[in-house]
């Protein structure tokens, strides 16, 4: 049975712990800034562009951070992974 070029993962697996912690840290900080912005401004002075930017970057960082956390830890803990 012939085979072609081997398939490599998009992100090297050795980087999973680093990526997970860094992305989650960045995501939590961004989420904190988002909530701070929500709390310290009134609805008359809030700018939706800034809100959107903060929210989007927080959700991207948290989403990717959770994915790498799952990839890194689910196999040793539960035996299989995404």
Partner 1 sequence: MSRLCTVLVLAACLVASAAAADFVVENASRRINLKNTWAKAIDTLKAKNTGGSDLSNFVVCYPESIASRIAVLKVLIKKEKQEVAPLQQAPQGAPAGVSCYQATFKSTVKKGATVDLDVVATVTGVFKPNPAKIAQGEKQYVEYYDNLYLLSPYEVTEQSSTVLLPTSDVRSFSPQDGGSKSGSKVSYAALGKQGPWAVQQLKVHFHHDKPFKRVNSLVREIEVSHWGNIYVEETYEIQNAGSQHTGKFSRLTYAHSPDGKTNSFPDVKAHLPAAAHSLYYKDIIGNISSSDTTHTSRETLIEVRLRYPLMGGWKTDFTLGYSVPLEGFLYRRPKGKLRLLMDLSTSFDDVWVEQLTTRVVLPEGAKHIKATLPFADIQQSWDKKFTYLDTAGRPVLVLSKSNVVPEQNKPFAVDYSFTFTGMMREPLLLISVFAAFFAAVALYNRLDFTITRDEKWQEGQAHDKALGLIQSLTEYWDREADVLDRLVRLAHSISNRPSADAAPASRQALEAELRPLDEQVGHAAV
- Among residues 9, 7, 16, which one has the least CA distance to residue 64? 16
Q: Contact at 8 Å (CB) between 34 and 68?
A: no
Mask for 21-40, x = binds partner 1 (CB under 8 A): ------x---x--xx--x--
Instruction: Give the count of residues interacting with partner 1 (CB under 8 A).
Output: 44
Pick the binder of partner 1 from 24, 28, 33, 70 (CB under 8 A). 70
Interface residues with partner 1 (CB under 8 A) are 1, 3-13, 27, 31, 34-35, 38, 41-46, 48, 51, 55-56, 58-60, 62-64, 66-67, 70-71, 74-76, 79-82
């Amino acid at each position: 049975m012939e085979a072609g070029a081997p398939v490599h993962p998009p992100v090297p697996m050795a980087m999973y712990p680093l990526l997970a912690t860094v992305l989650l840290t960045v995501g939590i900080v961004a989420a904190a800034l988002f909530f701070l912005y929500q709390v310290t401004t009134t609805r008359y002075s809030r700018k939706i562009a800034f809100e959107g930017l903060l929210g989007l970057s927080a959700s991207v960082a948290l989403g990717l951070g959770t994915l790498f956390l799952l990839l890194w830890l689910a196999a040793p803990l539960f035996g299989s992974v995404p």
